[in-house]
């Protein structure tokens, strides 16, 4: 009798489980393809022949299984699931050299992870500069108990595009002297942009220097129009996977209510446009309450760097619209160097009601000085005077198998002596060091990270750096101007309702304070999301719960390179 009852219970549990959590499984072949992302022929990284890659549509709690087949003939590949915390599956995070080996040409690697939290996410290549080559797509996790009310939704994946290949770009950046890659030729919305024509040329092009776009059906650069019904509410899920550009998005004639940032609900606030940095995602609600006979521009432009790239445009099209095109020019992007405007947007973002407050105190504090430097005449970005060199053997494997010679065992400095550093001037000593040392934390502690910006190598200038953490969300406790003052500036932290995010911007000449809990055993990348900056060493690595990693089950397939390959080959033998 007892046996029967047990069996019945099991059936009930299994049935409930399968009804509430699904398995989403696909096979993705990654290859280079000729494509016309901005109406000019280029080479993109396509997944199953598509650019951008397919959208993953899941519900919170679902298991995602993706078999990635590397169809590139001469280079490895990995895919990072940006914003997914990978609880219990750090080996599936997809950061080459950190959590796994690059997948060899011809080989297949299977990512398997749970998407535990509803939100707007994306995925992208995390090896070399493959994200810049177009290896990306949306990852949408819906909530079975969505509290926001809306009638429909659209995804807007924003990126920037260069005509030069990533191989040429990588070489340029690593050359002595460094050759800067310059500003992108185009901005893309869902992989579509226009380089040699403008949809809005009618309005601003008095000298006729730009052609009005004439798209043919099925043109790969023809914009996706958003078709909406009047008097409805739509959720726009916006993600930026740019290599370089900080962006601003506006919808002509409509206000936007920001409701989500990086997979966390925020206290709703209304704006005319949003700033979005590389690595960030937002959901905004848009009410279609404008004149339904008209069409409206959705415009995306560059901020934070002097723009040399035209706006990306698409159209919000009411189904009843009688006008053939929007009746006004597209909204102008706010001036690129109005940093106060950008900060005012960041300062409007607070956690939605019901989110846990951050712990009152931290157990550990890192002060990370961001500088641009030289290493043997190569231009580098350094954190506390170390430019990160990601080792061949993934850290996760080195720690799992106790391989002591795979990376620098000495941790980089936790603090930089700011007293003797003038952040408002080029570095007095431009030379830096390289290293592969990491920060190790025990499980269950609270860590504060203060990112400190500084002047670049030459001239009077400081750049924007959007910092992204893997395996976590952090609380953004605050932003400040100038040099961080330990013991003083902590008092200004917002401990009441700071937003939880996975990406936070570091403004020029300022600091940004973040707090997170070491609740996820694994090895986690924390880095500037600007692709060339990361390529030039702008990142650090956190190892959490080292003793737990030592007992972790990691698929051998993740570690078939460097010293872990050697270890696996000799397993069981002296
Ligand atoms: Cu950066």
Q: pLDDT tens-digit profile of 38-97?
A: 999 999 999 999 999 999 999 999 999 999 999 999 999 999 999 999 999 999 999 999
Distance CA 280, CA 186 (A): 19
Please return the burial class of 132, using the count of CB atoms within 10 Å of its CB with bins 0-12, 13-18 and 19+: buried
275 is a domain residue: yes
- 337 and 233 fall within a common domain: yes
C-alpha 370 to ligand 1 mean position (Å)? 9
**In the chain, what percentage of residues exceed pLDDT 70?**
96
DSSP lists the bridge partners of residue 412 as none
- 280 and 252 fall within a common domain: yes
- 237 and 118 fall within a common domain: no
pLDDT at 10 over 50: no
CB 454 within 8 A of CB 432: no
C-alpha 529 to ligand 1 mean position (Å)? 6
C-alpha 530 to ligand 1 mean position (Å)? 5
C-alpha 572 to ligand 1 mean position (Å)? 44
Nearest to 183 by CA among 275, 10, 308: 308
Domains identified in the chain, total number? 3
pLDDT at 201 over 90: no
C-alpha 538 to ligand 1 mean position (Å)? 7
C-alpha 365 to ligand 1 mean position (Å)? 21
C-alpha 371 to ligand 1 mean position (Å)? 10
Residue 213 tokens read as: 């776009």
pLDDT at 8 over 60: no
> With bands split at pLDDT 50, 70 and 90, how would you rate the model's confidence at 205?
low
C-alpha 534 to ligand 1 mean position (Å)? 7
574 is a domain residue: no
Calculate ∠ Cα 522-528-531, nearest 5°. Answer: 110
Between residues 16 and 270, which one has the greater pLDDT? 270
DSSP lists the bridge partners of residue 446 as 517
- 245 and 297 fall within a common domain: yes
C-alpha 381 to ligand 1 mean position (Å)? 8
**558 Rama sector, left if φ>0, alpha if ψ -120 to 50, beta otherwise:** alpha
C-alpha 43 to ligand 1 mean position (Å)? 25
pLDDT digits (tens, 9 = 90+) for 208-250: 678 889 998 789 999 999 999 999 999 999 999 999 999 999 9
Distance CA 284, CA 270 (A): 9
- Tokens 């409007």 belong to 348
8 is a domain residue: no
Phi, psi of 239 (to 5 degrees): -130, 140
Distance CA 39, CA 213 (A): 10
List CB-based neighbours of ion ligand 1 within 5 Å. Answer: 465, 528, 530, 533
- 532 and 429 fall within a common domain: yes
C-alpha 477 to ligand 1 mean position (Å)? 20
Q: Kindly list the distances between the CA atom of residue 16 and the CA atoms of 8, 40, 115, 461, in Å, as whole numbers in the listed order.
A: 12, 51, 18, 58
C-alpha 296 to ligand 1 mean position (Å)? 34
C-alpha 208 to ligand 1 mean position (Å)? 37
C-alpha 459 to ligand 1 mean position (Å)? 17
C-alpha 536 to ligand 1 mean position (Å)? 9
Q: Kindly list the distances between the CA atom of residue 294 and the CA atoms of 251, 253, 273, 290, in Å, as whole numbers in the listed order.
A: 13, 10, 20, 8
For range 537-559, the mean pLDDT: 97
| pLDDT of the residue at 204 | 74
- 165 and 245 fall within a common domain: yes
Q: By mean pLDDT, which of 83-92, 198-207, 545-554 is the weakest? A: 198-207
- 112 and 206 fall within a common domain: no
C-alpha 419 to ligand 1 mean position (Å)? 23
| pLDDT of the residue at 7 | 32
232 is a domain residue: yes
Tell me, what CATH number does 343's domain have? 2.60.40.420
Distance CA 404, CA 393 (A): 11
C-alpha 244 to ligand 1 mean position (Å)? 8
C-alpha 221 to ligand 1 mean position (Å)? 29
571 is a domain residue: no
pLDDT at 12 over 50: no
Q: Supply the range of the domain harboring residue 63.
A: 23-145
436 is a domain residue: yes
| pLDDT of the residue at 226 | 97
- 325 and 396 fall within a common domain: no
| pLDDT of the residue at 571 | 82
C-alpha 375 to ligand 1 mean position (Å)? 17
pLDDT at 9 over 70: no
Preceding omega of 45 cis (within 30 degrees of 0) = no
C-alpha 303 to ligand 1 mean position (Å)? 14
User: What length is written for the chain?
Assistant: 574
Q: How far is CA 180 from the centre of its chain?
A: 22
C-alpha 528 to ligand 1 mean position (Å)? 5
Domain end: 351, 373, 397, which one? 351
16 is a domain residue: no
Predicted model pTM: 0.94
- 293 and 248 fall within a common domain: yes
- 409 and 480 fall within a common domain: yes
C-alpha 308 to ligand 1 mean position (Å)? 19
C-alpha 386 to ligand 1 mean position (Å)? 15
C-alpha 462 to ligand 1 mean position (Å)? 10
- 420 and 504 fall within a common domain: yes
C-alpha 505 to ligand 1 mean position (Å)? 9
Distance CA 453, CA 291 (A): 45
CB 493 within 8 A of CB 513: yes
**In the chain, what percentage of residues exceed pLDDT 90?**
90
The beta strand positions in 83-241, using DSSP E, are 108-114, 119-125, 136-142, 152-161, 186-189, 197-198, 211-212, 226-228, 233-240
For residue 249, the surrounding DSSP H or E stretch is strand 246-251
C-alpha 406 to ligand 1 mean position (Å)? 26
Domain end: 88, 117, 145, which one? 145
C-alpha 537 to ligand 1 mean position (Å)? 10
Distance CA 187, CA 241 (A): 11
Q: By mean pLDDT, which of 204-218, 381-395, 509-523 is the weakest? A: 204-218
Neighbours of 489 (CB within 10 A): 17
The sheet that has 136-142: what strands, in order across it? Answer: 56-59, 136-142, 119-125, 79-82
Distance CA 446, CA 450 (A): 13
Domain end: 117, 145, 173, which one? 145
The sheet that has 539-544: what strands, in order across it? Answer: 439-441, 539-544, 522-528, 465-469, 503-506
> With bands split at pLDDT 50, 70 and 90, how would you rate the model's confidence at 181?
very high
| pLDDT of the residue at 179 | 97
Print the SS3 string covering 262-329.
Answer: CCEEEEEEEECEEEECCCCEEEEEEECCCCCCCEEEEEEEEECCCCCCCCEEEEEEECCCCCCCCCCC
C-alpha 305 to ligand 1 mean position (Å)? 12
Distance CA 161, CA 216 (A): 21
C-alpha 129 to ligand 1 mean position (Å)? 14
- 168 and 113 fall within a common domain: no
pLDDT digits (tens, 9 = 90+) for 397-450: 999 999 999 999 999 999 988 888 999 999 999 999 999 999 999 999 999 999
260 is a domain residue: yes
């Amino acid at each position: 009798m007892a046996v029967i009852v047990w069996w019945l219970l099991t059936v009930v549990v299994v049935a409930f489980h399968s009804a509430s959590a699904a398995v989403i499984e696909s096979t993705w072949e990654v290859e280079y393809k000729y494509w016309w992302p901005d109406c000019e022929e280029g080479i993109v990284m396509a997944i199953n022949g598509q650019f951008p890659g397919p959208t993953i549509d899941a519900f919170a709690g679902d298991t995602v299984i993706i078999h990635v087949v590397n169809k590139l003939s001469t280079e490895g590949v990995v895919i990072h699931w940006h914003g997914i915390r990978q609880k219990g599956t750090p080996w599936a995070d997809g950061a080459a050299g950190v959590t796994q080996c690059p997948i060899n040409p011809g080989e297949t690697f299977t990512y398997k992870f749970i998407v535990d939290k509803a939100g707007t996410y994306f995925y992208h290549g995390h090896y070399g500069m493959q994200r810049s080559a177009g290896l990306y797509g949306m990852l949408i996790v819906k909530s079975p108990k969505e509290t926001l009310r809306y009638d429909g939704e659209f995804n807007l994946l924003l990126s920037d595009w260069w005509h030069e290949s990533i191989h040429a770009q990588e070489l340029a950046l690593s050359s002595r002297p460094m050759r800067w890659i310059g500003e992108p030729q185009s901005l893309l919305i869902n992989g579509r942009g226009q380089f040699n024509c403008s949809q809005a040329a009618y309005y601003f092009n008095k000298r006729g220097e730009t052609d009005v776009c004439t798209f043919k059906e099925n043109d790969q650069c023809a914009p996706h129009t958003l078709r909406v019904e009047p008097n409805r509410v739509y959720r726009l899920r916006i993600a930026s996977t740019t290599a370089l550009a900080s962006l601003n998005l506006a919808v002509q004639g409509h206000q936007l209510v920001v409701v989500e940032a990086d997979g966390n609900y925020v206290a709703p606030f209304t704006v005319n446009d949003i700033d979005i940095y590389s690595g960030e995602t937002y959901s905004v609600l848009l009410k279609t309450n404008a004149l339904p006979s008209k069409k409206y521009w959705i415009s995306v432009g560059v901020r934070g760097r002097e723009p040399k790239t035209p706006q990306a445009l698409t159209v919000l099209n009411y189904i009843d619209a009688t006008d053939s095109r929007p009746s006004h020019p597209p909204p102008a992007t706010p001036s690129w160097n109005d940093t106060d405007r950008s900060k005012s947007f960041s300062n409007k973002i607070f956690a939605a009601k019901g989110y846990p407050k951050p712990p009152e105190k931290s157990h550990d504090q890192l002060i990370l000085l961001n500088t641009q430097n030289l290493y043997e005449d190569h231009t580098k970005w350094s954190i506390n005077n170390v430019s990160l060199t990601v080792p061949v053997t993934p850290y996760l494997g080195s720690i799992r198998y106790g391989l002591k010679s795979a990376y620098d065992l000495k941790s980089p400095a936790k603090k930089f002596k700011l007293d003797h550093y003038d952040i408002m001037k080029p570095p007095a000593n431009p030379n830096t060091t390289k290293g592969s040392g990491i920060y190790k934390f025990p499980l269950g502690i609270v860590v504060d990270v203060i990112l400190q910006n500084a002047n670049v190598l030459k001239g009077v200038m400081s750049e924007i750096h959007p910092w992204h953490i893997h395996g976590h969300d952090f609380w953004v406790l605050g932003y400040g101007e100038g040099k961080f003052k330990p013991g003083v500036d902590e008092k200004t932290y917002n401990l009441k309702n700071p937003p939880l995010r996975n990406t936070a911007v570091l403004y020029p000449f300022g600091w940004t304070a973040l707090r997170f809990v070491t609740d996820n055993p694994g090895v986690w990348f924390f880095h500037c999301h600007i692709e060339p900056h990361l390529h030039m060493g702008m990142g650090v690595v956190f190892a959490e719960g080292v003793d737990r990693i030592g007992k972790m089950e990691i698929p051998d397939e993740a570690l078939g390179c460097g010293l872990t390959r050697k270890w696996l080959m000799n397993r069981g033998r002296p």
